Amino acid sequence: MKKFRKVLDGLTTSSPVNIGGAPLCSSTAGTPTAAPTPREIEVVETLVSENFQICKTVRHGFPHQPTALAFDPVQKIIAIGSRTGGVRILGRPGVDCYCQHDSGAAVLQLQFLINEGALVTACADDTLHLWNLRQKRPAILHSLKFNRECITFCHLPFQSKWLYVGTERGNTHIVNIESFVLSGYVIMWNKAIELSTKTHPGPVVHLSDSPRDEGKLLIGFESGTVVQWDLRAKKADFRIYYDEAIHSVSWHHEGKQFMCSHSDGSLTTWSLRNTAKPFQLTFPHGRTQRDGRKPESCKPILKVEYKTTRNSEPFIIFSGGLSYDKANRRPTLTIMHGKSITALEMDHPIVEFLVLCETPYSNEVQEPYAVAVLLEKDFIVVDLTQSNYPIFENPYPMDIHESPVTCTAYFADCPPEIIPVLYSIGAKHKKQGYSHKEWPVSGGTWTLGGQTYPEIIITGHADGSIKFWDASAITLQMLYKLKTSKVFEKPKMGDGRVAELVEEDPFAVQMVSWCPQSRLFCVVGISAHVILYRFSRHDATTEITALEVRLQCDVEEPISPSETEANTGLLDASLHSPQHPPGSPGSATPDSVRDSIPCLRVKNRPIRMPPGYQADLVVQLLWVDGEPPQQITSLHLNSAYSLLALGNCNGLVVVDYLQKNVLLCMSTLELYGSNDPYQRLARSPRKSRQFAAGLTELTDNQVSLELDRSRSPTSDHVNGHCTSPTSQPYGAGRPKLNRRGPSRPPFRKVQSAACMEVSLPAPHTEESRENSFSRSRSSSVSSIDRETKEAVTVLRFMESYARKVDAVPSACLWVGTSLGVVLVIALSIPTDEEERLEEPVTVMPSSTVLTIKGSVLTFGSLDCNGSLVSNPYEVWRDPHAPEDPDCPRRRKLVNFSPSTSQEMSGEGHLAVVCSEKQAKVFLMPAQTCLYVHHITESSFVLRADVVSVYNSVCLACFCANGHVMMLSLPSLRPLLDVNFLPLTDMRIARTFCFTEGGQALYLSSPTEIQRMAYSQDMCDSLQEMLGELFTPVETPEAQKGFLKGFFGGNAQTFDREELFGEAAAGKASRSLAQHIPGQGGLEGMKAAAGGVVGDLARARMAAEERGQRLGELEERTALMMSSADMFSRHAHELMLKYKDKKWYQF
């Protein structure tokens, strides 16, 4: 039980708020302290450190930078390797596992041990790894690192424990899969080729055993040499020399011929009867010459597959091979079936493809039924059983990155009806033309856990689209897609205002705000606009209302009231009308004096909107005196108040979306009035200065030098008119400032931890954009761009106390800034529904000013019992539903006032404020700091949220140094501090978010979402929900019969142990490769064993242990017998030596 003290309202002994910015209660870093007060209140804090644990749960999306692909035809699971050392293993929906090599080396090749529950990975650091897939979290059993040679190709025959490994030097080594040690049997390159050959054949690019005889190994070298090696006789059966380089080789299932793909775009077919020349040479996409000469060369065919069928012609499937004369052609996968040639154009380059066949045996008719194609940014499966080759509908969320993700939001415990509603609306817009067959990758088992609740993930994208995803349990399925670009007219190429502002993505989504209960949705775009959407089950044809807001906060000269009144008509935030203001798109205004125009043009005609989210209101910030508006850095929406607030580095705007008017438009400095905690003076006209991009800041002593001070707020602001000097146009006698130098970008972005923004598209590479995150920050925490004003970093509507003298809570807007200042704005909202539609809402900045160290990140509200006070909201009602005269529709509000959750309404509530450096708990309305906790000194907090977990509440923080922290509330007692995720780029900072119930997510790569859990119960329950990769399945029997053997399809088997075992081949050189035991060995299998598979594994391990003990006992028995026999022999010899000697001869 934790105790904290509070100051009673109205006591004259209450300590005043420290205007200077220092905390009222001092503490050492990391130690919460309480200020002494006359009365104590007891709050039970139930959270303890044991309630928290950090673990990654599941990864969604397409594997970033894929490199390799493998398929188990019996288990029907697929594996994808990536350039960063990751391996994704996929089965039926719900069976999705991510593994990561510690080295981070790229995965070159993958090989399943078919139906054995194991996987071999070959990495770019010349290391082989054996993964155990018989557990929910695969682990490495063995590793083998080659020291002197580089791995180029691997081949594992079906039901074999010997892995063939080809190297860059042209040698072929053999690895025992069970012990993961090298065999002494080596096929040296100089033995494989003829002695008369003067050149090196190049690296090994192909290895495969003959379908007719497993003792014959086909070796393909890059130079064009192909050798069939007799493993028994240790010599070459034949050698093929071809002029063009080889990329791949594929056998016919009878083993009498094989096909090679070459670098000139040709396919050669070779018969074992005559290896002098190919019996067939084709250029599938080459243009035939009229004079009978060789067709012109084409692009290389990187891979070919030769698959046979029982009832039709064989399939020849290959990638590449297009002619050079056709520029800008998309990558193709070509399917040759009989006389037909079909070229399937792909949206992205082909990385790898595999033909899925019915049988795992290479010497049987293959019967291909699908082709799995791994592209650079997509994964598709083509149905070969239909003549038009449709693709299967992919059950995995592989299209998260269809347009680059720019922001994310995570909502847990949503209203249960919202997911079916969104799915039913989104299903109407799904693509058609998919194969009618089921998804062929159907391996593994997955069952839905018992502790699931509705979860929704929202992603915003660079093209202005929004995607809603069902994230319940551990799956991810797209529900609904919304395109915000449909609200605007298509930008014209000659429109300089857009081209100068955002070169490529003018509709990019910067942040979103969603109220699941009222189904209101707000989107902030990079072009300084906010779109409000309402949800409806019915289509509608309506006109979108546009509000244009002029928000600027430069103060160069004092302006007289007469000037203000004379220019008010041009400065008011007004409804969008057909009359174009000066400098609008409809007027011929030069670029140099663009003024009072938005960045994008809203459609001003009735628009038909389908069911779903329908645009209702657009708020746009305007150009001012030739300078574009600054990007919006904060947004909050409250459906109960029908208000919308947005802020940027210039100031704050409050909008009444019910009456569709602007209530407040102020610069940040004007919100203080006479209570400015920093002594900021008006300065001379600003000089244009250049600063490097990245995170910049002002130290505390720089505030007075860099910021202005403007006039106190007037009644005009309250009435919705922006008449501040920040919005005045330039007069005739007033010198115009060049605010933007030639090299200064049109947007000056506040890139503090509180205001992470979407990087504008630039001509430089994606990697440079992602890694533009700068870690250089000084000890001061007021992270604000030196050329911008004090930015509004966080906003929240809540029931609170605007002033110390307030007796009851009322509607308020809390405003946090980049200088660590918290302002409370009082709202007066009519309670009657009819009055609410007609009477104006009064917005009045109060004198309440709280301070904290660092840019403010988040707010939270608790009652005096320590319970979380949720935001009030309006229950959803369909805006376009038919009117019922018997039951008129009325607004239904749900309010969570602090007074409703406690007996004494006069006790107030607790306000939680978290910044980049500190967390504080204030008692309202006394405005007294009860607790303060210094979160970090050397780093800064990127994301903070007040979350509910274990029926209690805590403060969750993610720092730039990778630490995830949990603090109890209200005492701010540290519960967890784990160095979990180092901040490597801006992407993580921009997309990391916590949610209720103990989960969080972030964008781990441009194409993948990583979910994680921070509560112990959630970690345990999500671990149980993970699918099983391996399921016990009987291996199909090989075909038998007289006809099969008669026609030569029967394979000759041989005992590889006799050839490759230590007894016959000896040991390999220790310097050639090093064996590294894995962490997921026998102990890992014991710990992970469960169910039927666990019982079998335990029985097998017990049998092995018994056999091992029996073997040791037998060895000891044999040793004792040998010792006894030796003793008997020595005793007999001794007896013979002294048998005839007398006693005195000794």
If DSSP codes are grouped into helix, strand and coil, which group holds residue 1058?
Answer: helix
Nearest-angstrom CA–CA distance, 312 and 68? 31
Asked if 820 and 21 touch (Cβ cutoff 8 Å), the reply is yes
Please compute the mean of the pLDDT values over residues 1001-1017 and round it to a whole number. 93
Q: Could you give the dihedral angle defined by the CA atoms of residues 715, 721, 724 and 727, in that order, rounded to the nearest 10 degrees?
A: 180
For residue 1068, the model assigns a pLDDT of 81
Predicted confidence at residue 41, as pLDDT, reads 59
Q: How far apart are CA 533 and CA 619, in angstroms?
A: 12
Per-residue pLDDT for 252 more than 50?
yes
For 372-421, what is each residue's pLDDT tens digit?
999 999 999 999 999 899 999 999 999 999 999 999 999 998 888 999 99
d(CA 792, CA 857): 10
Cis peptide bond prior to 925, omega within 30° of 0: yes
852 — pLDDT class (breaks 50, 70, 90) = very high
pLDDT tops 90 at residue 307: yes
User: Of 25-29, 88-92, 247-251, which gets the smallest average pLDDT?
Assistant: 25-29
Instruction: List residues bridging with 340 in a β-sheet.
Output: 337
Residue 624 per-residue DSSP state: B
SS3 (DSSP) at 48: coil
Are 536 and 615 spatial neighbours (Cβ–Cβ below 8 Å)? no
Cβ atoms of 27 and 848 closer than 8 Å: no
Checking if the pLDDT of 548 tops 90, the result is: yes
pLDDT of residue 17: 39
Query: For all residues of the chain together, what is the average pLDDT?
Result: 79
Q: What single string gives the DSSP state of each residue in 695-744?
A: ---B-GGGHHHH----PPP-HHHHTT---SGGGPPP-TTSPPP--S-TTS
Bigger pLDDT: 794 or 695? 794
Query: DSSP readout, 130-157?
Result: EEE-SSSS-EEEEEEEESSS-EEEEE--
Best CA proximity match to 584, nearest among 623, 629, 529, 635: 623
810 neighbors 798 (Cβ within 8 angstroms): no
Sequential DSSP letters for 226-265? EEEEETTTTEEEEEEE-SSPEEEEEE-TTSSEEEEEETTS
| DSSP secondary structure of 846-893 | EEEEEE-SS-EEEEEEE-TTS-B-PPPEEPP--TTSPP-TTS-----E
For residues 992 and 1007, is the Cβ–Cβ distance under 8 A? no
**Residue position matching structure tokens 């018994």:** 1106
By percentage, how much of the chain surpasses pLDDT 70?
75
- Top pLDDT among 707 and 106 is at 106
Q: In what order do the strands lie in the sheet with 257-262?
A: 246-251, 257-262, 267-271, 280-282
Q: Residues 838, 839, 845, 846: is their CA dihedral positive or negative?
A: negative
Q: What is the pLDDT of residue 1021?
A: 85
Amino acid at 947: V
pLDDT band at 845 (very low <50, low <70, confident <90, very high): confident
Q: Where are the alpha helices (DSSP H) in 167-249?
A: 189-192
645 confidence band (pLDDT: 50, 70, 90): very high
Task: Name the helix (H) or strand (E) containing 35.
Answer: none
Comparing 182 with 1146, the larger pLDDT belongs to 182
Tokens of 227: 């050798």
Q: Where are the alpha helices (DSSP H) in 724-854?
A: 766-770, 833-838
Highest mean pLDDT (candidates 65-79, 902-916, 1102-1116)? 65-79
pLDDT of residue 482: 95
Residue with tokens 């012990």: 179
Residue with tokens 């028995």: 1117
DSSP string, 1118-1136: HHHHHHHHHHHHHHHHHHH
- Secondary structure (3-state) at 526: coil
- Tell how far CA 473 is from the center of its chain: 17
| Rounded-to-integer distance, Cα 954 and Cα 915, Å | 15
Dist. CA 1049–CA 1038, nearest whole Å: 11
Bridge partners, 515 (sequence order): 520
CA distance 990 to 943: 9
Query: Using CA atoms in the order 702, 708, 713, 714, what is the torsion angle rounded to 10 degrees?
Result: 170
The residue to which tokens 């594929």 are assigned: 250
Distance (Å, rounded) from C-alpha 642 to C-alpha 879?
14
**Dihedral (CA of 831, 837, 838, 842) sign:** positive
3-state secondary structure of 61: strand
CA-based end-to-end distance of the chain? 92
The confidence score (pLDDT) of residue 146 equals 95
Q: What is the mean pLDDT of residues 584-600?
A: 62
Rg of the chain over Cα atoms, rounded to whole angstroms, equals: 36
pLDDT value at 575 more than 70: no
- Residues with Cβ within 8 Å of residue 479, at least 6 apart in sequence: 419, 422, 423, 426, 456, 468, 469, 470
Q: What is the pLDDT of residue 910?
A: 93
What pLDDT shows up at residue 973? Answer: 94
Specify the 3-state DSSP secondary structure of 565. helix
Percent of the chain with pLDDT over 90: 53
DSSP state of 391: B
Write the CB contacts of 248 (distance below 8 Å, at least 6 apart in sequence): 205, 206, 220, 260, 261, 301, 302, 303, 304
557 pLDDT band (50/70/90 cuts)?
very low
Q: What per-residue confidence (pLDDT) applies to 1106?
A: 66
Q: How far is CA 649 from CA 93, 511, 752, 1040, in A?
A: 45, 16, 11, 78
Q: Give me the torsion for CA of 91, 92, 97, 101, rounded to 10°.
A: 20
Cα–Cα distance measured from residue 532 to residue 544, given in angstroms and rounded to the nearest whole number: 10
Q: What is the mean pLDDT of residues 272-282?
A: 91
Q: Is 1062 exposed, middle or buried (0-12, 13-18, 19+ CB in 10 A)?
A: middle
At position 1118, the amino acid (one-letter code) is: A
Res. 982: pLDDT tops 50: yes
Residue with tokens 């007004």: 574
1128 pLDDT higher than 90: no
pLDDT of amino acid 600: 92
- pLDDT greater than 60 at residue 1100: no
| Amino acid (1-letter code) at residue 15 | S
Q: How far apart are CA 321 and CA 284, in angstroms?
A: 7
Q: What's the confidence (pLDDT) of residue 1107?
A: 63
Q: Is 379 helix (H, G, I), strand (E, B) or coil?
A: strand
Sheet with 999-1005: strands ordered across: 52-61, 1008-1015, 999-1005, 993-995
User: Could you read off the pLDDT of 114-153 as tens digits, one per residue?
Assistant: 999 999 999 999 999 999 999 989 999 999 999 999 999 9
User: Is residue 155 over pLDDT 80?
Assistant: yes
Q: What is the pLDDT of residue 429?
A: 76
Find the mean pLDDT for residues 850-878.
91
